[in-house]
Amino acid sequence: MRALRLREWQSEPELVEVPDPTPGPGQVVVRIGGAGACHSDLHLMDEFEPGTVPWNPPFTLGHENAGWVHALGDGVTGLSVGQPVAVFGAWGCGTCARCRLGIDPYCENPSAAPVPSGGGGLGLDGGMAEFELVPHARHVVPLPEGLDPVQAAPLTDAGLTPYHAVRRSWPKLPPGSTAVVIGVGGLGHVGVQILKATTAARVIAVDTRAEALRLAEECGADRTVTSGPTAAEEIRDATGGRGADVVLDFVGADSTLALGVAAARTVGDLTIVGIGGGTVGVSFFSVPYELSIATTYWGSRPELVEVLDLGARGLVRPSITTFALDDALDAYRQMRDGTLEGRAVIVP
């Protein structure tokens, strides 16, 4: 089969011929129907170096995948060949306390995982290929009726990651509350949809680009604010001076984190989802009282089931541009240039 492989750090991936995978006991091979291209793949290609993460190339890219069950290893029950499925992309040890809750991204025994702190497309072969080997059947989640693999693929990361970030703040988002989404890209626009679908909060979207703010409006944002020196003041004005109950930063740069703090309300949440590498100083006087600041990484398997349900019901619909496997590098090029519309999904 053909696969888009990262051969070494800081290089362009290459489309090459590799052997078809065969499932061992307990494993599943999925025929890929859609593989989302993620901004974090650019970090793998451009910035990562030996030691950045506990795994190394070569591997096939693609960590947000869906398709159909192609082959089942010995002992796998409850799945059937041809069944449409999504792949939960973080592959932990399966037995630690976090993995037992389905929170594999926070696996506490990573040395016992198929690859430490990674998954398919993150150290092991992912879905930018005709087939993907999934090392344990628990990571294969049946698609609900009404959701096809192309729509489902980005939900496994671009949907699941903002869903997890929003869900943890649900208690702070009753009617009358305000949520701010900073960065309306591949994840942020889905974050707006998830806030509208699962909370009664007013949603304010912030971005530097006019087209991103238009996308936010299409996704249901109640108000948009252009990122810049007056953004925090605009958000405070829009909230009667109180600030936003929840700020979700999908960029994570110094400037967006500073905006998040300046726009947040007391007892609020500032959740850092974007891996922009910025920092924010916390002292008694520098942040609103009882503001909780947290990073999140991906989401849990039960949450994936929930976000797929939202997708099947049309409540969460990532904006998608499809590319053939031959054109996958174009998808990344457009992402790098900032000209990509919504989420790129590779359809092998």
Please identify, using beta-carbon distances, which residue of 99 and 221 lies nearer to Zn ion: 99
In contact, 160 and 307? CB cutoff 8 Å? yes
Please identify, using beta-carbon distances, which residue of 21 and 274 lies nearer to Zn ion: 274
Beta bridge partners of 69: 30
CB of 73 to Zn ion, least distance (A): 21
CB of 103 to Zn ion, least distance (A): 8
Please identify, using beta-carbon distances, which residue of 141 and 225 lies nearer to Zn ion: 141
Class of residue 125 by CB neighbours under 10 A (exposed 0-12, middle 13-18, buried 19+): buried
Q: Give the β-pairing of 64-72 and 28-37.
A: antiparallel
Q: What CA dihedral angle connects 130, 136, 138 and 140, to 10 degrees?
A: 0
Please identify, using beta-carbon distances, which residue of 177 and 271 lies nearer to Zn ion: 271
Please identify, using beta-carbon distances, which residue of 93 and 201 lies nearer to Zn ion: 93
CB of 18 to Zn ion, least distance (A): 22
Please identify, using beta-carbon distances, which residue of 92 and 118 lies nearer to Zn ion: 92
Amino acid at 104: D
Which among 155, 243, 174 has a CA at the least distance from the CA of 204? Answer: 243
CB of 26 to Zn ion, least distance (A): 16
* Residue 20 DSSP label: P
Please identify, using beta-carbon distances, which residue of 29 and 190 lies nearer to Zn ion: 190
Please identify, using beta-carbon distances, which residue of 204 and 298 lies nearer to Zn ion: 298
In contact, 61 and 126? CB cutoff 8 Å? yes
Place of tokens 């605009």: 234
CA distance 45 to 55: 14
Please identify, using beta-carbon distances, which residue of 181 and 187 lies nearer to Zn ion: 187
Instruction: Give Dmax (Cα) for the chain.
Output: 61
Binding site for Zn ion (CB under 5 A): 38, 40, 92-93, 96, 99, 107, 109, 157
CB of 234 to Zn ion, least distance (A): 30
CB of 254 to Zn ion, least distance (A): 22
Helix (H) or strand (E) holding 3: strand 2-6
* Residue 12 DSSP label: -
Start-to-end CA span in the chain (Å) = 10
Beta bridge partners of 17: 2
CB of 274 to Zn ion, least distance (A): 11
Query: What is the three-class DSSP state of 167?
Result: helix
CB of 41 to Zn ion, least distance (A): 7
The phi and psi torsions of 115 (rounded to 5 degrees) equal -145, 140
CB of 98 to Zn ion, least distance (A): 6
Structure tokens at 291: 């503001």
CA distance 342 to 332: 12
In contact, 130 and 158? CB cutoff 8 Å? no
